[in-house]
Amino acid sequence: MDTLFKKPKKQIFAIFSFLFLSLIFSTNNAFAADGEKIFKQNCAVCHSLGSNKITGPGLAGVFTRVPSEQWMHSWIKNNDKMIKSGDAYAVQISKFDASQMTIFESTLSDDDITAVMKFIKEYKPKVEGPVVADTGNTGTPKEEGVNPLAILIGVIAFLIVIVAVLRGVRHSLKNLQNEKMGLPEEEAIGPWTELKQWISSHKRTTTVIILIITGGLLTSAWYGLKGIGVYADPDQKMEYHPEQPIAFSHKIHAGDNAINCQYCHSGVERSKTAGIPSVNVCMNCHKGISKGKLPGGTEEIAKIYAAAGWDPEKGEYNKPQSPIKWVKVHNLQDFVFFSHQQHVKVGKQECATCHGDVKTMTTVAQVKPLTMGWCIDCHKKTEVPGMKDNPYYESLHKKLAEKYKGQPITVDKMGGIDCVRCHY
Amino acid sequence: MATKKYWKGLEELNNNPEFVQKANSEFAEQLPVEKFLEDKSLENDGTNRRDFLKFLGFSVTAASLAACETPVNKAIPYVVKPEEITPGVANWYASTYFDGNDYASIIVKTREGRPIKIEGNDLSGITKGGTNARVQASVLSLYDSSRLSAPMANGNLTTWATADKEIGNKLAAIAAKGGAIRILSSTIISPSTKAVIAEFAAKYPTTKLVTYDAVSFSGMVKANAQSFGQEVIPSYNFDKAEIIVSIGADFLANWLSPIETAGQYAKTRKVGKNKKSMSRHYQFESNLSLTGANADYREPVKVSEHGKVAVNLYNAVAKIVGGSSLSSSALACDNTIAKAAKDLADNKGKSLVVSGSNDMYVQLVVNGINQMLDNYGKTIDIENPNYTRQGDDAAFADLVAEMASGKVDALITYNTNPVYTAPAALKFADAYNKVGLRISLADRADETASMAHYICPDHNYLESWNDFNPKKAHYSLSQPTISPLFSTRQAQETLLKWSGNNSDYHSYIQKNWMERVFPMQGKHMIFNDFWNHSLHDGAIEVGKGGDMEMNGMADSVKAAPLAVKAEKKKEEPKEEAKPVAKVDLGEAAAKIAAVKGASEPSFELALYEKVGIGNGNQANNPWLQELPDPITKITWDNYVTMSPLDMEGKYDLMERQDREASVVNVTVNGTTVKLPVVPQPGQARGTIGIAVGYGRDKAGNLSMRTGSVIGQNAYPFIQLMNGSMMYGALDAKVESANETVEMAGTQVHHTLMGRDIVKETVLTEYQKDAKAGNADEMLVTHSGKVKMSEVDLWDSFDRPGHKWGMTVDLNSCIGCGSCVVSCTAENNVAVVGKTQVMKTREMHWLRIDRYYTTKWPNEGKKAKEKAHEEGVGAIDMYLDMENPDALNPKVVFQPMLCQHCNHAPCENVCPVLATNHSSDGLNQMTYNRCVGTRYCANNCPYKVRRFNWFNYNANPDFTFNPTQDDLGRMVLNPDVVVRSRGVMEKCSMCVQRIQGGKLEAKKAERKLKDGEIKTACQQSCPTNAIIFGDLNDEESAVAVLRKEDERNFYVLEEVGTKPTLSYLTKVRNCEEAEFHNEHEAVKEEKAGA
């Protein structure tokens, strides 16, 4: 399934080599790269490099619009001053939007501003499409609306038709031949009878075929049972990875862009649920990032816009909103109370302990069984890292240390496997 | 060889060929196969039997295959998440509950934007964190699907725009011709609402406001007007009273400000290591009320005698403190009156006499007593009046007369339901029909609204903005905690709109507060600060003595045109409240003496409010219907209470766990109501009691879902006497209807049956020995008698972390049931309905056991000795024990919930380990493991386990359960599992709160503070009778109590269950002799009667 980015190492290598080569061969680029960094940190939230409006106007061709580069420089530095000084163009564009542009006088030096301006000026939109050397991507975007099973059935049906036609042709040819040779006409036998004849004459082959079919059926039954949770091997990955309404890739966000899990799952230290980010959280970044690097990415981002009611052309929320119906991957039964804040904030557990290495997952899969046995197993093995320094546990820890001399104080020793910890 | 031959008929005997042929074929005649096949219509039928079977087989297989898929759960986040909401974390908002009757400052717990629980607001200077059952249940009333979804015009749903336009035109037409417009409302304590009405009156100058309360205090207001020249109801300081005498005032459950009073009262009743005194409480009443059940001395008196008790008490006090006496007649309870008078006189300025009568003359005499006792300014604060009861009976009667004569052109009813609550004598419904334009602002098509032309539904209070001024200098706010569920509109906004003011009520209140409340306080310099603080705290107290009081009663009760009145008010300097006026009480005494009681066989009727249903506002609330009455323990009904002595020989006494009650017809002045009659020990002889608030056929869908209207309406029985409403009748005929009906009571045993489940003592003994009445349980062992607490068959358990414990002070518990509803709301407890309650299948995790005392000694051994002496057999002794003293039993309440035994009998009989012990001392119940053997319930000595006999969440027989309603489900606490059929459940000690509280401490990296975690029952208790905490924390309140309070005892300690819950002995402030020997006296009296 996870065909996108099968080779992360290769990708990283590719990026590094690209950057390295760029560094060597273009001194000018170093300057621009600096500008790019500054742009991303300070400007990208409000300005796109294209022509679309985010909060501020798009910057494509900006230097053809502004009076002069010097004007641009002072504008970036302190637009307020420019407006107040009565500069005609400044006053004119101050009416662009009610929100005022940030004053960068104290944060950006003159050199920085120059670098940014240079970056903007020299920016050329990248060519769309898969760039193999750049990303190491070997996958193709999934086609929508065509079920692979349907294709398979179609192919089989097609083959059957061909076989039937060929049989007819063969029969006619044989008869023709027989006729020529003066032999009596071959009796037209039905396909079923022929099959039976074939089977009786090829018993060994038939056995093998039957064995293969039976094996296939059994295997699929096995996976089917596993799919409904009849059997769960804690050591084996469950790999429940439903298709999501938006092909959101944790690999791109948490992996490549190294966005902290808590930026989106902000409830994890405050609530029992980590929370799925609301669309407005997506929009924090995607207001500016409207183009996906990967094929199909732009379309997926458009789905966020559709949910948020955002019009990327006009740069405003003017369409009806509709929530995104994500498919829940990690399901706990209703009679289990699980608290993320207890595990992450107090118990100082890594997200990956239960969710696996999400940073490498394009489609999130459930990698741990999430069964009670699995929970208890962990509670029996895990010492709580946060316990020693937390005054809440002080007296308990002292008493337990005395009671279990030398043994590690695991969660279960603190009552962590009491029924009411999770069931109430 | 058989020689005999048997044959069926001659044919067989003769054995002719035809017969033989026939006998060999299976059917006597040819099957009509051909005829069947000839039927051409069958050929057209595409499906034959085989096809059918194929399809059946396929569909069954397909269905089961389809079911074998991992369920796909969707997770749908917000599109734009409101900043203040974190899914999974509760938000709390301060608000206020006032329904024209109960006032409570509350905080509302919301989860993901929906209110799920009401808690008391500790910051309130009035209710101080207490609530009652009705306030607790009000959150469910928000999710009542009987509420109107849009305005209605002449019985059809319409839009606000249409309704506004039509009503606007009609009102304008009425105003143009100078027709009378009346607004009829229950008490309004919202200053801004009053301003809104004034604005409305300015636009339509013929408008008058009439305030009418279903249960009115207008007699008291009139009496105070006479005594002090002020039409007010004072604030009462029960906490400053050493002696409390109540004549028919049920001040712990219903009278005036019950939540506040209960808190104050309990303060005087608590005893402990450093406080060995308590107040003494005398109660004179007809029905056994909740307050009477808590009294030290209680005298059952007839309804007609209430005034006479007041007069005799006046005389008795006057005799001691020196004063002229009034003309009086002797009463049976004069001894107690004399005793009370002596106590009162000994505690001048520290005593309090209150009366529940709505008769001005009785209240005048009571005022006289309090004045003699110098209680004004001390226990009675007339300078800080209570504004929560402003109803004016006379004005209401005038209005009805005006309506009947056709002089009223438009009537707007707000938060009142007079068609249901008005006395029969007023014939309100007829008069109402004569009003040209009838507009109701009710949230549902209730009895009154359904007769109106327009219903413009108001928001529920949890969806509204409002402000409140319950007492002078006390202000509070309510704020919306959820977006309106329906297309309803705040009544104030509706009135504003009709007045031509389009501002929203929120900014209207703000403006009003900026102009009027803000200047009264000196704490905040900026209005926004003040507003935000007030909103955050919910309730504020402004500086006293300011003359900016904007909610004086005078401008509402008199039904004067408001606009004019408001202007006038500004000019008048406010009079100082000086409780000095002397009123001639002679007339009052004469009027009281003239009251003639009923003569046999008639009864005197006393109407009362139940702690659950109250005045009937929330009759559609299943939580309140299922809440057992604290005294009778009966649910889902109202009934006639009668003294068992009056019932003997005539009606079913419901003895020996009998649920069948006789049905009687009660007739007063031509109004007849058919109700079951229930024996009520302590009911005054010759009187009956009926609860109001029942029999609401248009309260909503609950009656439809339960199959019948719940109870009967007793409001029509209200009589008009001396210009105010009398909540009773002096001549009620009771006739048997020759039927019986089953009652759904939750407690079929009445007394303790000689067991030591509840321990009690008297104050004098307690002062001598703190362990009085609480002797240690001793166990005989081979080494002599040993304290039970020191004997243990098993090893004790190690509780290294927390060790949760709860102690219930039986001296503070008044039995009000607030905790029961609170527990229901917190723990998603199912409502099971009347038929299941009859089968003892109620699901309440927490019940309040009510025990009467019996004529048998409380200690089992003594009872046996006595039985032996008197030659009574064991069976008869126990049967006798079951019957309480009919005349005037003492009552004790005991909240009973899972005792979380350390050696729990339930645990070791569970075959699947579904119930066992946690490391912090909780008896944990794991629902998903339970297979429903019910062994645990059978083995529980406290009978606190509850079994889900049905799937109350889906079974069509239980549609009244909130979980079966799409709206009702929203009230569920998402942190607690909704249990299904076949599962045992019980008190979890609010483990979700414990876990939540612990987590907060862990996250903040600090120790858990005592009092930080409060169980639902503890939080809602208005008297702080429940103390919960960590026993391992030596400084926690509960640990200190266990160590220091000698009253601490464990229920059934002798069986060795080592409960985690303990109780504190109940102390009564009566004489030892009365405590011990009253039974004999009762017996004599009974013989005499």
Token pair for B721: 């006497």
Mean pLDDT score, A284-294: 83
Read off the pLDDT band of B30 (50, 70, 90). low
Separation in Å, CA of A288 to nearest CA in chain B: 18
Contact criterion met (CB < 8 Å) for B88 and A333: no
Burial of B1025 (0-12, 13-18, 19+ CB in 10 A): buried
* Domain B598-745 sits in CATH 2.40.40.20: yes
**Domain spans of chain B, in order of start:** 218-386, 598-745, 775-853+889-1064
Q: Note the pTM of the prediction, 2 decimals.
A: 0.80
Q: B180's torsion region: left (phi>0), alpha (psi -120 to 50) or beta?
A: beta
- C-alpha–C-alpha distance, residues A19 and A24, integer Å: 9
In chain A, positions 226-245, which contact chain B (CB-CB < 8 Å)?
A: 227-229, 240, 242
Q: Which of A295, A335, A292 is nearest to A312 (CA)?
A: A292
Q: Lowest-confidence range among B34-38, B424-428, B871-875, B1085-1089?
A: B1085-1089
A6 close contact with B: CB closer than 8 A? no
Which one of A229, A325, A424 has the shortest CB-CB distance to B988? A424
- C-alpha–C-alpha distance, residues A46 and A41, integer Å: 11
Mean pLDDT score, B66-83: 77
Verify cis geometry, omega within 30 degrees of 0, for the bond prior to B418.
no
- C-alpha–C-alpha distance, residues A110 and A116, integer Å: 10
Mean pLDDT of chain B: 85
Residue A88's pLDDT is what? Answer: 81
Q: Lowest-confidence range among A38-47, A300-309, A378-387, B642-651?
A: A38-47
Read off the pLDDT band of B46 (50, 70, 90). low
- C-alpha–C-alpha distance, residues A345 and A269, integer Å: 5
- C-alpha–C-alpha distance, residues A61 and A59, integer Å: 6
A331 close contact with B: CB closer than 8 A? yes
Instruction: State how far Cα A241 lies from the chain centre.
Output: 11
Burial of A372 (0-12, 13-18, 19+ CB in 10 A): middle
Residue B331's pLDDT is what? Answer: 84
Which one of B68, B800, B922 has the shortest CB-CB distance to A228? B68
Mean pLDDT score, A294-318: 87
Q: Please, are residues B986 and B945 in contact by the beta-carbon 8 Å criterion?
A: yes
DSSP-derived secondary structure for A280-329: HHHHHHHTT--S-SSTTHHHHHHHHHHHHTEETTTTEE-S------EEPS
Q: Please, are residues B476 and B543 in contact by the beta-carbon 8 Å criterion?
A: no
Q: What percent of chain A clears pLDDT 90, i.e. is strictly above it?
A: 7
Contact criterion met (CB < 8 Å) for A327 and B75: yes
Mean pLDDT score, B325-352: 88
- C-alpha–C-alpha distance, residues B807 and B1046, integer Å: 13
Q: Which of B731, B641, B643, B743 is nearest to B689 (CA)?
A: B641
Fold exhibited by the domain B218-386: Dimethylsulfoxide Reductase; domain 2 (3.40.228)
B992 close contact with A: CB closer than 8 A? yes
Smallest CA–CA distance from B924 into chain A, residue: A420
Q: What percent of chain B clears pLDDT 90, i.e. is strictly above it?
A: 45
Q: Please, are residues A237 and A367 in contact by the beta-carbon 8 Å criterion?
A: yes
A281 close contact with B: CB closer than 8 A? yes
Smallest CA–CA distance from A326 into chain B, residue: B75
CA atoms within 13 A on the CB side of A228: 12
Q: What percent of chain B clears pLDDT 70, i.e. is strictly above it?
A: 89
- C-alpha–C-alpha distance, residues B968 and B705, integer Å: 13
Mean pLDDT score, B311-322: 89
The 3-state DSSP class for residue B215 equals coil
Tell me the three-class secondary structure of A132-150, residue by residue. HHHHCCCCCCCCCCCCHHH
Mean pLDDT score, B494-521: 89
Does the pLDDT of residue A79 top 50, yes or no? yes
Mean pLDDT score, A77-83: 82
Residue A89's pLDDT is what? Answer: 82
Q: What is the pLDDT of residues B967-998, one digit of tens each?
A: 999 999 999 999 999 999 999 999 999 999 99
Residue B582's pLDDT is what? Answer: 61
Total H helices, total E strands in chain B:
35, 44
* Residues whose CB falls within 8 Å of the CB of residue B489, separated by 6 or more in sequence, listed in order: B151, B160, B456, B457, B458, B459
Mean pLDDT score, B554-568: 36
Q: What is the pLDDT of residues B197-243, one digit of tens each?
A: 999 998 898 899 999 998 889 888 888 888 888 888 899 999 999 99
Which one of B800, B999, B1007 has the shortest CB-CB distance to A346? B999
CA atoms within 13 A on the CB side of B694: 27
- C-alpha–C-alpha distance, residues A257 and A248, integer Å: 13
Q: Please, are residues B237 and B264 in contact by the beta-carbon 8 Å criterion?
A: yes
Contact criterion met (CB < 8 Å) for A414 and B1001: no
- C-alpha–C-alpha distance, residues B619 and B625, integer Å: 7
Smallest CA–CA distance from A335 into chain B, residue: B977
CATH of B775-853+889-1064, one of 3.30.930.10, 1.10.10.60, 3.30.70.20, 3.40.47.10: 3.30.70.20
Residue B85's pLDDT is what? Answer: 85
| CA A65 to each of CA A71, A93, A118, B297: distance values in angstroms, whole numbers, following the listed order | 11, 11, 16, 94
Contact criterion met (CB < 8 Å) for B73 and A328: yes
Beta strands B760-762 and B634-635 are unpaired
Residue B23's pLDDT is what? Answer: 61
Separation in Å, CA of B24 to nearest CA in chain A: 44
Angle, alpha carbons B879-B881-B885 (nearest 5°): 120
Token pair for B427: 């014939």
* Residues whose CB falls within 8 Å of the CB of residue A87, separated by 6 or more in sequence, listed in order: A71
In chain A, positions 291-310, which contact chain B (CB-CB < 8 Å)?
A: 307-309
Q: Please, are residues B399 and B210 in contact by the beta-carbon 8 Å criterion?
A: yes
Q: What is the pLDDT of residues B151-161, one digit of tens each?
A: 999 989 999 99
Q: What is the pLDDT of residues B654-706, one digit of tens each?
A: 776 678 889 999 999 888 999 999 999 889 989 999 999 999 988 888 888 88
* Residues whose CB falls within 8 Å of the CB of residue B819, separated by 6 or more in sequence, listed in order: B846, B848, B895, B1016, B1017, B1018, B1020, B1021, B1026
Q: Lowest-confidence range among A325-339, B32-46, B179-193, B424-438?
A: B32-46
> For residue B575, which phi and psi values (nearest 5 degrees)?
-75, 140
CB-CB neighbors (< 8 A) of A394 in chain B: 1007
Q: Lowest-confidence range among A209-213, B339-343, B736-740, B874-878?
A: B874-878
Q: Which of A132, A73, A141, A78 is nearest to A104 (CA)?
A: A78
Read off the pLDDT band of B32 (50, 70, 90). low
Residue A33's pLDDT is what? Answer: 56
CB-CB neighbors (< 8 A) of B969 in chain A: none
Q: Which helix (H) or strand (E) holds B66?
A: helix B49-67
Q: What is the pLDDT of residues B575-616, one digit of tens each?
A: 444 445 567 788 888 888 888 888 878 899 999 999 999 889
Does the pLDDT of residue B456 top 90, yes or no? yes
Residue B44's pLDDT is what? Answer: 59
Q: Which residues pair with A162 in a beta bridge?
A: none
Which one of A272, A331, A418 has the shortest CB-CB distance to B73? A331
* Residues whose CB falls within 8 Å of the CB of residue B571, separated by 6 or more in sequence, listed in order: none
Q: Please, are residues B804 and B1042 in contact by the beta-carbon 8 Å criterion?
A: no
Which one of A324, A335, A345 has the shortest CB-CB distance to B1003? A345
Token pair for B842: 């109620």
